[in-house]
Structure 1
């Protein structure tokens, strides 16, 4: 099933499976990647309750081991629509007997999409229904369609900074990192910078990234609520992902204890947390 929201400027369509955004359209131009499986068959999956990969695909909690595949399970489940208007929709996924086998926490994940003029505000609400602390990570993975040659695109950060990028070793964060120096706040896109997979940032001064097409802005991603970020594409693929994260893959030194996992977030017992970001079509 699909739900579409719209105003007089833009529209957005979301699949109920994974509550996944798959269309953001303004004046008949599509800004979200089409999901061609020849490159990558997703559009904008939600990463929950982990981001990235666990060491040996396992975590431990209360002296028991649990198996979770890369990026968690939220993207694989059908969400329920719990609120809907012309310009907004809220989806809900609740823990179940099946999820408790791999993630032993009673939770509800609500994902809201709201159009505000030419921007789409995406909110994640993590509700802890247990009597103990709930560990989680959550991340967005929107892929933006780039119809021209890849080298026609630039990422403009809102701060001038030297980017500290962490590399992966067998899908885990290694001890190795490298620097990318922005020029006038800009990163010129080329496939060569993604030959070792995603660019992963534990910290950034910038909280906005604008995609420029032939030096003209087309999309701006604002992510004040998110500490971490990934930028990714596949070599020769006509898209780029700008991924606000709270959390990232295990490090190679991980002891698998989810309560000690680097980058993990927590919701206190019977509490909730909301994190949101915006995609603005410029």
Structure 2
């Protein structure tokens, strides 16, 4: 099942599986979301919930009991229900079930709210704690922006000038090793060598938006004001770049395993809700 929303400028299509955005086209039919060719990467824009990244040994503990979660959690592989639809807006819902409780012993509802406004697509995540205990979770986005021309024609530009310190991954976990992402005239020219050690992980940034440039002109802008962390990723020779606003990130090898103590975790009180949104703007 798929759902499409549109306005005078954009058309967005969303799969009910994972409530995943798989197409964003302008009124000239140009596609801005990666097609999902499995030879490179078979996803388009998955939601990362209830964890972002990888757990140490793919395992965590709650009240002394061990549970297992795959990288980036399970929501991206589950069927969502379409609960509201308008011409330019769609709301999808995933609720806890017997299946999720085996991996994640909490009662929750996760909503993904897609809204088109002029030349922007806004994606809001809403998490509702429907249980009787505190809900620990992380949530993140993983949109792959299609780059149809030569990769080196594109560059990235952060909103503010700052030291762009990123953390290196080792065995999918965050290491203590860091590097500085160098800029040239405030721009970061894209090349595959940047990603030879996997994603660039920024725990904190002063910038709250990032613009992808094509031949030095704005192409796509991602605003992530509600998200303190950011991942940037692609695969060798793949014609896309993932700009990933995150609340949370992978474990380090020092993690205790207690999910409530995980670095970057969010804790939601019972009967409370949490919301965060980001936007993709087409230029």
The aligned runs of 1:210-221 (5 Å cut-off) are 210-221=211-222
TM-superposition CA deviations, 1:181-240 (whole Å, max 9, x none) = 333331111100100000000001111111111111111000000010000000111000
What TM-score does the superposition give when structure 1 sets the normalisation length? 0.99
The aligned runs of 1:88-237 (5 Å cut-off) are 88-237=89-238
Q: How many residues align?
A: 282
1:138 CA displacement:
0.4
- Contact 1:160 / 1:184 at 8 angstroms: preserved in 2? no
SS at the partner of 2:103?
coil
Cα distance in 1 for partners of 2:49, 2:255 equals 19
> Hey, what does 1:241 align to over in structure 2?
242
1:111 CA displacement:
0.4
> Hey, what does 2:24 align to over in structure 1?
24
Q: Which consecutive unaligned segments of at least 5 residues does structure 1 have?
A: none
> Hey, what does 1:61 align to over in structure 2?
62
- Contact 1:161 / 1:185 at 8 angstroms: preserved in 2? no
Cα distance in 2 for partners of 1:267, 1:281 equals 33
Cα distance in 2 for partners of 1:152, 1:280 equals 19
1:131 CA displacement:
1.5
- Contact 1:106 / 1:129 at 8 angstroms: preserved in 2? yes
- Contact 1:169 / 1:252 at 8 angstroms: preserved in 2? no
SS at the partner of 1:240?
strand
Cα distance in 2 for partners of 1:184, 1:253 equals 38
Cα distance in 1 for partners of 2:129, 2:247 equals 17
1:180 CA displacement:
1.4
Question: Please, which moves more after superposition, 224-233 or 210-219?
Answer: 210-219
Cα distance in 2 for partners of 1:193, 1:181 equals 10
Does 1:8 pair with 2:23?
Answer: no
- Contact 1:82 / 1:92 at 8 angstroms: preserved in 2? yes
TM-superposition CA deviations, 1:158-198 (whole Å, max 9, x none) = 10112111011111011111111333331111100100000
What TM-score does the superposition give when structure 2 sets the normalisation length? 0.99
TM-superposition CA deviations, 1:226-263 (whole Å, max 9, x none) = 01000000011100000000000001111110000001
SS at the partner of 1:162?
coil
1:63 CA displacement:
0.7
Cα distance in 2 for partners of 1:207, 1:28 equals 29
Cα distance in 2 for partners of 1:103, 1:187 equals 39
